[in-house]
Structure 1
Amino acid sequence: MAAETDDVSVIRHVIERLARSRPDLDSRLVRRSVETAYDEFRNARVRTYLPILMERRAKDLLPHAEDR
């Protein structure tokens, strides 16, 4: 149960960081990309790098400025 609570905190933190770095994007899109990234890493045995891995993956899922 503690891991779930920690994960919720990590997800929230990553969403906030990405939203600040990409204010041009809809916050729902940012949230969905982070949630998708979390789903991909949810069962990782080593949790130490979960935040950075999630953030990098979520960034990959977001559209780039030149894509729009």
Structure 2
Amino acid sequence: MTVDEGMPSIGTLSPADVEDRSPAPVVHADPEGPPEPPPPASPEEILAVRDMVTRLMSTWPSVAEAVIEATVRSAYDSFRQARVRAYVPILVERRARKVLRAAAEGSPAGGSDR
């Protein structure tokens, strides 16, 4: 017996065969209730975010500090539910740099990224 036994060859399926194989609807059932809230940021993460804002401010001195902080906060919020926290600061900085770089390239003043 081979894996292909009982399988129709390519090109032998009729449209009726395909219609009968529509996927079942996806049911999102959460028997345990809503997910638990994310853990609070560790002191190391808070320090890493502060250092990150300082580095980004030195890279883009023409961008207001509030804009950089908001960009970092937005990037950080996207990783709020991450269970493995070890790489969150690195991923946040990459995402913030990407957003700031795109904004700088779109503006007439430009900017640099180290």
Any idea what SS the aligned residue of 2:84 has? coil
- CA root-mean-square deviation: 1.9
Q: Would you say 1:36 and 2:74 are equivalent positions? A: yes
Taking structure 2 as the reference length, the TM-score comes to 0.52
Identity %: 37
Alpha-carbon distance between aligned partners in 2 of 1:2 and 1:38, rounded to the nearest angstrom: 12
Q: How far is 1:5 from its partner?
A: 2.7
Q: Which has the higher helix share?
A: 1
Alpha-carbon distance between aligned partners in 2 of 1:37 and 1:2, rounded to the nearest angstrom: 16
Alpha-carbon distance between aligned partners in 1 of 2:68 and 2:77, rounded to the nearest angstrom: 14
Gaps of 5+ in 1: none
* Partner residue, 2:93: 55
After TM superposition, what 4+ stretches of structure 1 lie above 6 angstroms from structure 2?
Answer: none
CA change 1:2–1:32 in 2 (3 A) is closer
Higher normalized contact order (CA 8 Å, seq sep 6+, divided by chain length)? 1
